[in-house]
Amino acid sequence: MSRRDITADDIESLAVGAWILGTGGGGNPYLPLLNMRALYREGYRVQLMDASDLADDDWVGVVANMGAPLVGQERLTDSRTLARAVALMEEHTGYRFAGLMSMEIGGANGVRSLMAAAHLKRPVIDSDTMGRAYPEAQMTSVAVGGLRPYPLTAVDVRGLESIVDKVPTWKWTERVARKICVEYGSVAATCQPPRTGAEVKQWAIHGTTTKAMAIGHAVREAQRRHDDPVAAILAVEPGKLLYKGKVIEVERRATEGFLRGVVRFDGLDDWRGSAMTINFQNEWIVAHRDGEAIAMSPDLICVLDSVSGEAVGSETIRYGQRVTVIALPPPAIFLSPRGLQHVGPRAFGYDLEFRSVFKT
Amino acid sequence: MRRIGIDVGGTNTDAVLIEDGKVAGAVKAPTSEDVTTGILDSLKSLAATGVLKDPDGKLKRIDGVMIGTTHFINAVVQRRHLTKVAALRLGMPASASLPPFCDWPEDLANLVRGGVWMVEGGHEYDGRPFMPLDEAAVTAAAQEMRTAGLKSVGISSIFSPLDPSHERRAAELVAAVIPDAAITCSSDLGRIGLLERENAGLLNAALADLSRETIAAFEKAIDDSGIAAPLFITQNDGTVAEAGQARRLPVYSFASGATNSMRGAAYLSGLADAMVIDVGGTTTDVGQLKLGFPREANSVVKVGGVRTLFRMPDLLSIGLGGGSHVTLDPVKVGPVSVGYRLLRDGIAFGGQQLTTTDIAVASGVLALGDRNKVAHLDKATCQKVFAEAARMAEEAIDRMKTEAGDVPLIAVGGGAFLIPEKLPGVSKVIHVEHGDCANAVGAAIAQVSGECDQIFKDMSRRDAIAAAQGIANDRAVAAGAARKTISIIESEDMPLAYLPGNSVRVRVRVVGDVAAS
């Protein structure tokens, strides 16, 4: 049975790596990281468990915080509230979770499952349902798998507790939960629909916590040695370097509750004279180089600070920033026809046939 | 208009008189251990040039003395002269797992943390109360603060930039228990981001005693000099606050030195939009002027290891200056510098360390020290060193530019000789008279500002921006601006993801001339 202790240093790496896998969205993991540092100082510990070690009839709790990143900067997520959302799900269903799993490894939610796990003394499963961050609840591997989209619990730190007991589709899960979240003040701790061990093994995306830690570790080591952090990422991940440049224009607009827009870049180094644009809906969705669509969801498009190697988010990217754009391979499940229906370019309103940068 | 600008730096205290839009006099005096003497000395040497008197020998009327100082940021960085602070946060039960001081460096937290109290209160993003303010708990906390002997209090509240009423009410309740408390409300420091805003408030509260003493010393120096003029303190954004307000908010002067240099560069060159390179002894700051003001860093800025988020200029600092160490094979410049020991350690002055100033003396750019001592440095060697310095400057400028085309560059500071007349990406390099006192000039010409940064709901974008401008105007007037001179220098709006009802966050900043007293 491989259960591994997660060290305080692993969590530092996880925060850096999860932010990179956030592909522009998902929120900066800085505040969850602060929570974990405090919990580890107080003696709490979390273990990591492989999905393959789950029994088929085990139950797994899926943890996520919902809400506007801006609200999360004022109402700082409390680890006990996340734990309460999970405990409420256990009370409601009568299951006892063998482990907890992140809904999305990308961004702040990639660290939040550890916050709940620390209080509940359960392991965190080394898997998630996005392999990155995505803006909507139906953009998960378990939604692609057509798994049951309910029940869901949502908790507010003031003691408000809601249960979404039954909905017909994942789109309804998203709609109803979003409404609750808005009433709470645009932030809610949620436990997503529980999964059996068999479902996790078949449908989750595996090894993603380890992957985020490896990416973060590579970046932090490169920073320490004053090496090229982007090269360090590409040494541990089969990614592709797409572009180096600087931000020359950022256009943002809020539509239907999402931050959409486009960032334009001017090339540097080998890309001097070459232009890039990246369209986003919270996350980076489609990258065009000199007019040609060269990378698109579900390929992971990561915009990194060229010097530090750390992720640059769509909410905070600004003029003049020096960035390096890389692509990381997508989870295989999103490459199926059904997967592409959920997260391919057309799911975001781009009339493009999906073409991976990893297909030569 | 006749103003005196003073820049109290680590090494020198510079003073200038600006009269009818011109630099009428400029002096440098060594900075003294006690603040009053240094300023008094610089005012005396300015008076000794005769510029402060009429032809008939009478002291001229001075409209204001504007002082820029690095005193407060140095106190934080060096961990000196800091006051113990009581932190009071309104927002329970939210955010409880990340209490005040939670992300401070240990040593600084140990110096400043006098106690932490968290009570119910705060607001939602849309202005709804999050929890009613627990007034009894605030009063009980204040009584504990009093028992602990704490007199400096930092109050923060969730979403207080949108609605500061809970912070204000809590301040009243604390003042009722501790009448002589120095209280900082985080909403006075702006921005969304609870921890960063709270951190800025706690740093501000930690500077309460130093601020009171320092500004009293400034006032005494001006009094002793016989000049009858109001005192203003320059701020991070290139504006000034009258002494009373500056005393309350010392963190707003953290980066005023660099800002003053850039503003001074704009004034001396007559350019409002340009890049500025300020080459000192050890470091070079590069920034961008937009409409005569430095572009602002719109992100987290660490001060003494503490994450803060408030008005700071966006600067890139590199290790290049007049005192930078030079090695010749291969050619390398900086980042180590001889600093203030230049006149002792530089080869042209009889020392052992080759510096950029020695190179300038050897090639005849500067007439300092003994040129014979650097005669062994041939022309080609000097050119290589200058080329390296130029390469470093070029890269820094390119990093800070926000547009692709060539832009003008103003070179100021004592080490400006390192900046060549031609640089790639630069349309022209401008060296200005009095460029070595640009920071004091920038202080003398500072204006007054007002800012509004909040979320507006169910309003058209135009109405929201207009509403924000109205609030910013009122704040500028409250800070001492003449209303009819106010203009917008920055306006930014950002739609908010996930929030319903067409929510938009608007940030508007306005400036105006100091109203005649």
- Structural domain includes residue A190: yes
Three-class secondary structure of residue A200 per DSSP: helix
pLDDT higher than 70, residue B497: no
Token pair of B22 as six digits: 């011109």
Q: What CATH code is carried by the domain that includes residue A37?
A: 3.40.1610.10
Q: In angstroms, what separates the C-alpha of B381 from chain A's closest C-alpha?
A: 29
A58 and A184, same structural domain? yes
**E strand residue ranges, B265-323:** 274-279, 284-290, 293-294, 301-303, 306-308, 316-318
pLDDT of B70: 79
- Structural domain includes residue A253: yes
Q: Is A138 on the interface with B (CB under 8 A)?
A: no
Average pLDDT in the B489-517 region? 73
A242 and A152, same structural domain? no
Average pLDDT in the A95-113 region? 97
Interface list for A 301-330 with B (CB within 8 A): 315-316, 318-320, 322
Three-class secondary structure of residue A190 per DSSP: strand
pLDDT higher than 80, residue B207: yes
- Structural domain includes residue A248: yes
Cα–Cα distance measured from residue B124 to residue A190, given in angstroms and rounded to the nearest whole number: 19
Give the C-alpha distances (Å, rounded to integers) separating A336 from A141, A339, A343, B184, B270: 11, 5, 10, 57, 62
Q: Which of B26, B29, B22 is nearest to B2 (CA)?
A: B22
A129 and A55, same structural domain? yes
Token pair of B128 as six digits: 């709804």
Contact B192 A74 (CB under 8 A): yes
Q: What residues does B409 pair with on adjacent strands?
A: B275, B429
A308 and A263, same structural domain? yes
H or E segment and range at residue B500: none
pLDDT higher than 90, residue B59: no
Q: Which of B436, B412, B371 is nearest to B274 (CA)?
A: B412
pLDDT of A254: 67
A298 and A185, same structural domain? no
Contact B498 A257 (CB under 8 A): yes
Q: Is A68 on the interface with B (CB under 8 A)?
A: yes
Report the top-level CATH class of B85-206: alpha beta
Kindly tell me the burial class for residue B149, based on how many C-beta atoms sit within 10 Å of its own C-beta (0-12, 13-18, 19 or more): exposed
A282 and A169, same structural domain? no
Note the pLDDT tens digit of each residue in B431-455: 998 888 899 999 998 888 888 877 7
Q: What residues does A47 pair with on adjacent strands?
A: A5
Contact B499 A186 (CB under 8 A): yes
Phi, psi torsion values for B309, nearest 5 degrees: -145, 95
A244 and A189, same structural domain? no
Asked whether the beta carbons of A347 and A337 are under 8 A apart, the reply is no
Cα–Cα distance measured from residue B515 to residue B179, given in angstroms and rounded to the nearest whole number: 32
Chain A residue with minimum CA distance to B299: A316
Token pair of A159 as six digits: 């003691």
Q: Which of B324, B235, B312, B325 is nearest to B280 (CA)?
A: B324
Note the pLDDT tens digit of each residue in B73-121: 888 888 889 999 999 999 999 999 999 999 999 999 999 999 999 999 9
Q: Which of residues B16 and B29 earns the better pLDDT score? A: B16
Average pLDDT in the A110-116 region? 97
pLDDT higher than 70, residue B496: no
Token pair of B353 as six digits: 């360390």
Handedness of CA B350, B352, B354, B356 (dihedral sign): negative
Q: Which of B348, B350, B398, B402 is nearest to B375 (CA)?
A: B348
Cα–Cα distance measured from residue B278 to residue B259, given in angstroms and rounded to the nearest whole number: 10
Instruction: For residue B495, list chain A residues with Cβ-Cβ distance below 8 A.
Output: 252-254, 259
H or E segment and range at residue A351: none
- Structural domain includes residue A360: no
Report the top-level CATH class of B1-81+211-254: alpha beta
Three-class secondary structure of residue A210 per DSSP: helix
pLDDT band at B368 (very low <50, low <70, confident <90, very high): confident
A178 and A82, same structural domain? yes
Q: Which of A262, A322, A88, A26 is nearest to B498 (CA)?
A: A26
A155 and A49, same structural domain? yes
pLDDT band at B480 (very low <50, low <70, confident <90, very high): confident
DSSP for B153-192, please give it: EEEEETTTTT-THHHHHHHHHHHHHSTT-EEEEGGGG--S
Note the pLDDT tens digit of each residue in A279-323: 999 899 999 999 999 999 999 999 999 888 999 999 888 877 889
> What single DSSP character describes residue B31?
P
Q: Which sequence spans correspond to the domains of chain B? A: 1-81+211-254, 85-206, 317-439, 447-512
Least confident of A33-47, A236-250, B235-249: B235-249
Give the N- to C-terminal CA distance of chain B in Å, as an integer: 12
Cα–Cα distance measured from residue A143 to residue A141, given in angstroms and rounded to the nearest whole number: 5
Note the pLDDT tens digit of each residue in B370-415: 888 888 888 899 999 999 999 999 988 988 887 667 889 999 988 8
Cα–Cα distance measured from residue A147 to residue A163, given in angstroms and rounded to the nearest whole number: 18
Q: What's the mean per-residue pLDDT of chain A?
A: 94
pTM of the model: 0.86
Q: In angstroms, what separates the C-alpha of B396 from chain A's closest C-alpha?
A: 12
A189 and A94, same structural domain? yes
Contact B299 A266 (CB under 8 A): no
pLDDT higher than 60, residue A59: yes
A183 and A75, same structural domain? yes
Note the pLDDT tens digit of each residue in A251-264: 887 666 677 899 99
Q: Is A182 on the interface with B (CB under 8 A)?
A: yes
Residue A296: domain span: 238-348
pLDDT band at B517 (very low <50, low <70, confident <90, very high): low
A180 and A310, same structural domain? no
**Chains A & B: contacts with CB separation below 8 Å:** 110
pLDDT of B177: 98
Task: Quote the number of domains for chain A.
Answer: 2
Among A112-121, B292-301, B333-342, the range with the most confident prediction by mean pLDDT is A112-121
Contact A320 B95 (CB under 8 A): no
pLDDT higher than 90, residue B344: no
Q: Look up tokens 């992300």; give the residue.
A: B103
Q: What's the mean per-residue pLDDT of chain B?
A: 88
pLDDT higher than 90, residue A89: yes
pLDDT of B123: 92
Q: In angstroms, what separates the C-alpha of B500 from chain A's closest C-alpha?
A: 6
Q: In angstroms, what separates the C-alpha of A252 from chain B's closest C-alpha?
A: 7
Q: Which of residues B7 and A212 earns the better pLDDT score? A: A212
- Structural domain includes residue A280: yes
- Structural domain includes residue A272: yes
